[in-house]
Amino acid sequence: MTLREKQDEFISDMEMFDNWADKFNYLIDLADELPAELSLNLLPFRIEGCQSRTYFKAFTDCYGKILFTDGWSNSAVMGGIIVAIMNIFNRTERIELRYTKIDFHTESGLIDNLTPMRRAALEEIIRRITVLSK
């Protein structure tokens, strides 16, 4: 599945719900996929500026694919966002990331319905991912 298709799938999943309470409940359910406790390996990868304690680790492998090995948040909403991001970007080739518009958060309306701190955290995560395309 291409990065564009994975973003469109997230947008479509969010469109299944009639209101933002249900959309946030969907994200909260996604957060159940994360470990219950913070791994000490994630401590250097905290998302600064986020009110919650949110961490994620992404890197590129020797084949030029983006990999997410770990992520965690003490906020269920941010945890769900991390899982969604992992589902969208994991195993994406750097070249594909470089040439694909990243818009799952704007097209789904997610960015406009987050608190300012969560919005900043999401933007920081996306910034960290796009840096990997270079």
Give the chain's domains with CATH numbers.
3-131 (3.90.1010.10)
Q: How confident is the model at residue 54 (pLDDT cuts 50, 70, 90)?
A: very high
Give the model's pLDDT for residue 16: 97
Q: How confident is the model at residue 50 (pLDDT cuts 50, 70, 90)?
A: confident
Give the model's pLDDT for residue 133: 87
> Global pTM?
0.93
Give the model's pLDDT for residue 115: 94
Rounded average pLDDT over 65-79: 90
Give the model's pLDDT for residue 83: 96
What string of DSSP letters covers 80-116? HHHHHHHHHHTT-BHHHHHHS---HHHHTSGGGGS-H
- CA quadruple 42, 84, 104, 52: dihedral positive or negative? negative
Which one-letter amino acid corresponds to residue 45? F
Tell me which H or E stretch contains 29.
Answer: helix 20-30
Q: For the segment 104-128, what is each residue's pLDDT rounded down to a tens digit? A: 999 999 999 999 999 999 999 999 9
Q: How confident is the model at residue 41 (pLDDT cuts 50, 70, 90)?
A: confident
Look at 60-64, 73-77, 86-90, 103-107 and tell me which has the smallest mean pLDDT.
60-64
